[in-house]
Amino acid sequence: MTDSRTLHGVNGLLICVLLILFNGTSVDTSEGGVGGDIDDCLNNNCSGNGNCSDRVNGFYCYCNDGYYGITCDIEAGPCSPNPCENNGTCFQDENNLVYCNCTSEFEGERCESEKPPKIFTVTLTIIDRIFVDDYKDLTKSLTLGLIEDLNSIFKPFLEQNFDGFSTIVFTGFFQGSVGAIFDVIFAATSEINATSIVKAFSRANGTNQLRFVLLGTIKAVNKLHTSTGATDSLVTESSSELEPWIIALIVFLIIFAILLVVIVILVVSLVMDNFLPLQTL
């Protein structure tokens, strides 16, 4: 067994190369073995906390209870090894209870779950678009065209205004001129809230940034987000020019619907009264 760990300078390098050529085996100068194995445990006492076992080009430490790590150099404890997952920081309080301080992307007692994205449902009305019936069906080509048109405006707008903006998904359109309902999705770490969304849209109303004029109500609702349950916050900012008109229309439609149902019931019962006896004959 040759120990050649103290090879120096150019001479050392030369000898080293020659030895490689001669022996046909690799030389690991840090390990010091040439053409064979050395007892790696000679230089390793496993930090005095375990038993060393020699391996070819290495060693293995069997650690005593209470220690771990490659050289048994880490003392085990409630925070060691770290019980917190995903780079959470472990800390102990004065009662020796263990807690995890999670990074901003994770949550849970042991930081085991990734935080869900933040999703807001936004409803607004654009006046410089004409509503067509096709818009009620999201798969129609006219609707897909509208979505593409709106995406080309909304996406840059949202990217500019909000950190962590991820994507936008249109979920429906309604009459008036074109009312749009869409989900805006942000990274879990985003500081976004419903108020700031409504404010951004109001600020951009009619400017080059948004390129169209909004009427009526801008609404943003925080969709389900914590793992413990849904917390909804409703923020409404309105410039209520259309609102009384819309309310009147809705009331009228409801009354009309009720009347229609009553009439249908009356007609049906009349028809039944007239024809039932005939049928039973």
Ligand X SMILES: *[C@@H]1O[C@H](CO)[C@@H](O)[C@H](O)[C@H]1NC(C)=O
Residues within the interface to ligand X (CB under 6 A): 45, 48, 50-51, 62-64, 86-87, 89, 91, 101, 103, 191, 193, 195-196, 202, 205-206, 213-215, 218, 239, 241
Give me the residue whose beta carbon is nearest to ligand X: 48
Structure tokens at 93: 């309080």
Q: Using an 8 Å Cβ cutoff, are 169 and 183 in contact?
A: yes
**Shortest reach from residue 218's CB to ligand X, in Å:** 5
**Shortest reach from residue 36's CB to ligand X, in Å:** 23
**Shortest reach from residue 193's CB to ligand X, in Å:** 4
How many H-runs (helices) and E-runs (strands) does the chain carry? 4, 15
Q: Is 239 helix (H, G, I), strand (E, B) or coil?
A: strand
**Shortest reach from residue 191's CB to ligand X, in Å:** 5
Is the CB of 57 or the CB of 87 nearer to ligand X? 87
Is the CB of 48 or the CB of 77 nearer to ligand X? 48
How distant, in Å, are the alpha carbons of 6, 174, 192 from that of 27?
13, 76, 58
**Shortest reach from residue 31's CB to ligand X, in Å:** 16
Is the CB of 27 or the CB of 52 nearer to ligand X? 52
How distant, in Å, are the alpha carbons of 87, 99, 179 from that of 126?
45, 49, 6
Is the CB of 137 or the CB of 232 nearer to ligand X? 232
How many of the other CB atoms lie within 10 Å of CB of 76? 13
CA angle at 33 for the pair 27 and 37, rounded to the nearest 5°: 125
**Shortest reach from residue 195's CB to ligand X, in Å:** 5
Is the CB of 17 or the CB of 213 nearer to ligand X? 213
Cα separation, 44 vs 176, in Å, equals 79
For residue 128, what are the contacts with CB-CB under 8 A and spacing of at least 6?
Answer: 177, 212, 213
Is the CB of 19 or the CB of 61 nearer to ligand X? 61
**Shortest reach from residue 171's CB to ligand X, in Å:** 20
Helix (H) or strand (E) holding 168, with range, is: strand 165-175
How distant, in Å, are the alpha carbons of 108, 251, 255, 256 from that of 261?
52, 16, 10, 9
Is the CB of 92 or the CB of 227 nearer to ligand X? 92
Cα separation, 255 vs 249, in Å, equals 10
